[in-house]
Amino acid sequence: MKSLPKLVIFGDLEKRGVSEAIDEFLGFAKGKAEIVASYGIEDLKQTCTTALPPEDAKVLKKCDYAIVFGGDGSIISTARNVSKASLPVIGVNVGKLGFLAEFSVAELQDFFPRLKKGTAPIDKRMMLNCRVFSDGRGKDRDEKFYSAAINDIYITAGPPFRMIELKILVDGQSLAGCVTDGLIISTPTGSTAYNLSAGGPILSPKIEAVVITPICPHSLSFRPIVINADSTIEVFGVRVNDGTTISIDGQVSLNLTINDVVRVEREDSDFLIVSNPLRSKWDTLATKLSWAEQPKYKQYPNV
């Protein structure tokens, strides 16, 4: 007889409806699964590392799936912390948009037999990591910040809101210099987030690539560019503001100074997510963001 699936539960208990959704699922899962542990999301959102403390990492190794109740932000903060354990994440949407949180509680219950059989479809998504060095040369001994990123790494001008000047290198070769309000470096998963709002391209989440998108550049010709996933990107601040900040997934941030260099590379672990077979990524684009929606033509009666 096949053993019960071992689950770890993550939930943003401060979000309306999450506690109720977890309670409903726990009632359903009684006798059908083993709940190994549960964690609150708020403890993870400001975490830079890609692993929970050692004692919690041991717990994750015992689990088959992590189920996250909340929205996409909840999944992102969880994924940054569980990726090293290669633990597939199931997102249950109790939020607004739900790009990554693909299941409702009812859909998860209908899907549950596939978890028990071990036949759940799992997508592998690439991640990035960001390191900040304090002396402008990028030597490991001078590292002052590290974090993995699921969606994006972006630099914003910040107070007093003057445009900043950045120099961008890819694999040690100069790519561009720009006077701008900021810069977004995005994964394919994050291409539908800040990158999309800034005019960047939509990438299939299974593609292995990185998007570099300027934020309101003082240039008509600096367009977003897609580069190889294994590239090393370095960003130098030629001119920055007192409040210039680098942000990871909109959840972890650091103030940048003129002497800092930002290095972005592919993370050595991937984000594993269980996909909902009832939905495709393109369905999500169409239904959530009305992508490629046809014009609403005026209907004329027959004459």
What CATH number was assigned to the domain covering residues 128-266?
2.60.200.30
Q: Is the pLDDT of residue 203 over 50?
A: yes
For residue 214, the 8-state DSSP code is: E
> Domain 6-125+269-289's class?
alpha beta
Which has the closest alpha carbon to 63: 93, 85, 39, 40? 85
Mean pLDDT along residues 231-237? 97
Whether 158 contacts 243, CB under 8 Å: yes
Neighbouring-strand partners of residue 75:
none
Location of each CATH 2.60.200.30 domain in the chain: 128-266
pLDDT of residue 50: 47
Q: How far apart are CA 109 and CA 21, in angstroms?
A: 12
Mean pLDDT along residues 83-98? 85
Whether 77 contacts 251, CB under 8 Å: yes
pLDDT in tens, 22-75: 999 999 999 999 999 988 876 555 555 444 565 677 888 889 999 999 988 899
Q: Give the other-Cβ count within 10 Å of 88's Cβ.
A: 22
pTM score of the predicted model: 0.89
Q: How far apart are CA 228 and CA 226, in angstroms?
A: 7
pLDDT in tens, 260-277: 999 999 999 999 999 998
Residues annotated catalytic, as ranges: 72
- Write the CA distances from 303 to 296, 300, integer angstroms: 21, 9
Mean pLDDT along residues 123-130? 96
Peptide bond into 201 cis (omega under 30): no
Location of each CATH 3.40.50.10330 domain in the chain: 6-125+269-289
The overall average pLDDT reported for the chain is 88
Strands 122-125, 65-70: parallel, antiparallel or unpaired by DSSP?
unpaired
Give the 3-state secondary structure of residue 254. Answer: strand
Among the residue ranges 23-27, 161-165, 181-185, 291-295, the one predicted with the least confidence is 291-295
pLDDT of residue 285: 76
